[in-house]
Structure 1
Amino acid sequence: MRVKRGFKARRRRKKVLKLAKGFRGGHSKLFRTAADTVDRALAYAYRDRKACKRDFRRLWIVRINAAARMNNLSYSKLIHGLKIANIDLDRKVLAELAISDPNGFAHLAGIASQQA
């Protein structure tokens, strides 16, 4: 006897096609191509959530290093001096401080250079 699989299969297909909304051509209309494209898109999304964190950290470090060198200090000496002085600012905040408040950053750099 033939089994048509009923609502379970339809629910699975609708879920995939809903995720494929916005894709071009058959990638949003045909189940098999949509399923392949959605799998790849989800894998890229998972990978790039991790990569985004890495990329922003690299950007912050570049900005902090540039600001530190304007104050005659290397990045590593700045971070080491701040750690010894028990100043717990993360790299995101330090980078924002370097851009928006150069005088405040220079004050922190002065403290770090005394410690190092």
Structure 2
Amino acid sequence: MPRATKGAARKRSRKRLLNKTEGYWGGRGNLYRKAMETYIRAMVFSFRDRKARKRKFRELWISRINAAVRERGMSYSRFISGLVKANVDLNRKMLAEMAVNDKPAFDKLVEQVKAAAG
């Protein structure tokens, strides 16, 4: 009879994977091979979507800044260009936050940018 190897380690490894896939639909949660395929796919999606989330938030911030700046009679590209000329070092996340929650400060910033732009 051959000597058993990896018995406890393999069982522990499979158990760990099946615990991670608990709650998946049908055999994906309790059949090892299906669970492995589904888990790998899920991890690929989560890696990809962590990058996509960053892109989506930047897109959202730019849309908010654009809307706020257009209300004040300026285009987004001219505003960003003016920020550079005025040496204002704020990222888009903070600019969007100001545009939504701190309108007086954003108004002052737009005036500063208009003055710097000429």
Q: Which residue of 2 aligns with 1:58?
A: 59
Distance of 2:80 and 2:53 partners within structure 1: 23
**Greater shift after overlay, 1-10 or 68-77?**
1-10
Report the CA distance between 1:38 and its aligned residue.
Answer: 0.4
Q: Which amino acid aligns with 1:8?
A: A
Match of residue 38 from structure 2: 37
Give the deviation of 1:43 after TM superposition. Answer: 0.3
| TM-score between the two structures when normalised by the length of structure 2 | 0.91
Where does structure 2 lack aligned partners over 5 or more consecutive residues?
Answer: none
Structure 2 partner of 1:90? 91
The aligned counterpart of 2:75 is 74
CA distance in 2, matches of 1:22, 1:115: 57
Output one character per residue of 1:68-100: Cα deviation in whole Å (capped at 9) or x when no partner: 111111111111111221211111111111111
* 35-44 vs 19-28, greater mean Cα deviation: 19-28
Q: For residue 64 of structure 1, what is the amino acid of its counterpart?
A: I
Q: TM-score, normalised by structure 1?
A: 0.92
1:49 and 2:82 equivalent?
no
- 1:22 is matched with 23
Deviation at 1:2, TM superposition (A): 5.7
Instruction: Please report the RMSD computed on the Cα atoms of aligned residues, expressed in angstroms.
Output: 1.3
Superposed displacement of residue 52, structure 1: 0.1
Q: Determine the C-alpha separation between the residues in 2 that align with 1:27 and 1:16.
A: 11
The list of structure 1 runs, each at least 4 consecutive aligned residues, that deviate by more than 3 angstroms after superposition, is 2-5
Cα offset for 1:59?
Answer: 0.3
* Matched positions, count: 116
